[in-house]
């Protein structure tokens, strides 16, 4: 049992964000160490309308990025090697990492490769943050970057600053100063469209947003304006929420750095999210009867569509098959997407072996 949370001198709260570096690539390298140092991309190969899902840092040095068409990636890096990595390997690696993180305090997984840990009960959170990063590397063979701060928002931004294998500590009281020179894009809730609207008013950094005239921000963003300014100043009161008991629903979503319309890439994203959801269902001993697919357009219009089946499901392929059926029914080919998500609901423990069935066209 974790000790009761209590603030220690100088740290009213201590939130650690752990983000695995090039996770899919590095999981592949565990089984293929001979490819270390090679520019690598996980994703569809050129000529198949493939898209890069993850790239090694050697590839990133040439400008290769996730969500980039594979043909473009090869033009930037002719030596780029395309590889694949099994879902089982990803699942097992993620479980190993999360098991380590959960030993240090309340832990909230955000995806297969990142999580928050509340270290407020630790007498020396900086030393613990260093120990966690080193232990993950030693026991799993996988590199991670960590960010420690008094809130989730700043901790996540901090973990991005020193990649790969970075370690950034933002001391209490330094949150606003840390964020001030950074682009407004580092703040959750500020995407390309919002950043452009801010830039049109001469606001490009977090410091400029935090110091901007409140009336102007409210005029441009309405009721969301004050919240944006608070985040830009490093104010975030969200708690780390560990997994407690059976879930009512399980979901995953991806917000893209740029609007995506490539069908193969979007279906690959659906597949990875369904695998993540399936793993969660099996881990918790649950099955689902409803699958939901969430869509967000470039203009932020968001909607979801769902389908409920007679026989409950929990296998990745079953969830994916239903998600793709919903997707194909409601996605106009070529329509750019800002975000795609998948969720399951109507959860319950299985009462009998699930039967195979046809979702239909």
- Active-site annotation, residues: 114
CA distance 306 to 344: 9
Tokens 């240090």 belong to residue: 104
Structure tokens at 252: 């995953």
118: left (phi over 0), alpha (psi -120 to 50) or beta: beta
CA distance 55 to 52: 7
Q: Are 354 and 310 in contact (CB under 8 A)?
A: no
Structure tokens at 199: 């830039």
Q: Are 306 and 329 in contact (CB under 8 A)?
A: no
Cα–Cα nearest to 12, from 241, 173, 229: 173
Side by side, which strands form the sheet with 167-169?
107-111, 114-118, 15-20, 144-149, 167-169
Sign of the CA dihedral with 85 first, then 334, 261, and 254 last: negative
195 Cα distance to chain centroid? 20
CA distance 265 to 337: 11
207 Cα distance to chain centroid? 25
């Amino acid at each position: 049992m974790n000790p009761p949370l209590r603030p220690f001198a100088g740290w009213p709260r201590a939130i650690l964000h752990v983000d695995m570096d090039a996770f899919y690539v590095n999981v592949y390298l565990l089984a293929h160490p001979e490819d270390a140092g090679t520019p690598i991309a996980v994703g569809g190969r050129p000529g198949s309308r493939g898209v890069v899902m993850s790239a090694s840092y050697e590839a990133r040095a040439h400008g290769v990025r996730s969500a980039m068409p594979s043909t473009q990636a090869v033009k930037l890096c002719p030596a780029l090697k395309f590889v694949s990595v099994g879902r089982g390997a990803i699942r097992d690696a993620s479980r190993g990492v999360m098991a380590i993180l959960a030993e240090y305090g309340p832990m909230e997984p955000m995806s297969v490769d990142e999580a928050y840990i509340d270290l407020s009960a630790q007498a020396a959170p900086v030393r613990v943050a260093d120990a966690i990063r080193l232990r993950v590397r030693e026991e799993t063979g996988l590199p991670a970057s960590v960010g420690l701060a008094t809130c989730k928002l700043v901790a996540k931004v901090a973990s991005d600053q020193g990649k790969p294998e970075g370690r950034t500590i933002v001391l209490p009281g330094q949150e606003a100063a840390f964020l001030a020179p950074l682009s407004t894009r580092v703040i959750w809730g500020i995407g390309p469209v919002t950043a452009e609207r801010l830039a049109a008013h001469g606001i490009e950094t977090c410091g400029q947003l935090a110091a901007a005239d409140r009336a102007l921000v409210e005029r441009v963003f309405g009721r969301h304006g004050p919240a944006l300014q608070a985040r830009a100043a490093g104010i975030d009161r969200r708690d780390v929420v560990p997994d407690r008991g059976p879930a009512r629903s399980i979901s995953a979503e991806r917000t893209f750095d740029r609007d995506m319309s490539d069908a193969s890439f979007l279906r690959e994203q659906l597949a990875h999210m369904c695998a993540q959801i399936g793993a969660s269902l099996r881990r918790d001993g649950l099955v689902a009867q409803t699958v939901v697919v969430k869509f967000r357009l470039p203009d932020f219009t968001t909607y979801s569509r769902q389908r409920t089946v007679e026989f409950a499901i929990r296998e990745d392929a079953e969830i994916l098959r239903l998600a793709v059926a919903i997707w194909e029914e409601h996605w106009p080919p070529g329509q750019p997407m800002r975000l795609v998500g998948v969720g399951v609901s109507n959860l319950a423990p299985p009462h009998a072996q699930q039967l195979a069935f046809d979702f239909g066209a």
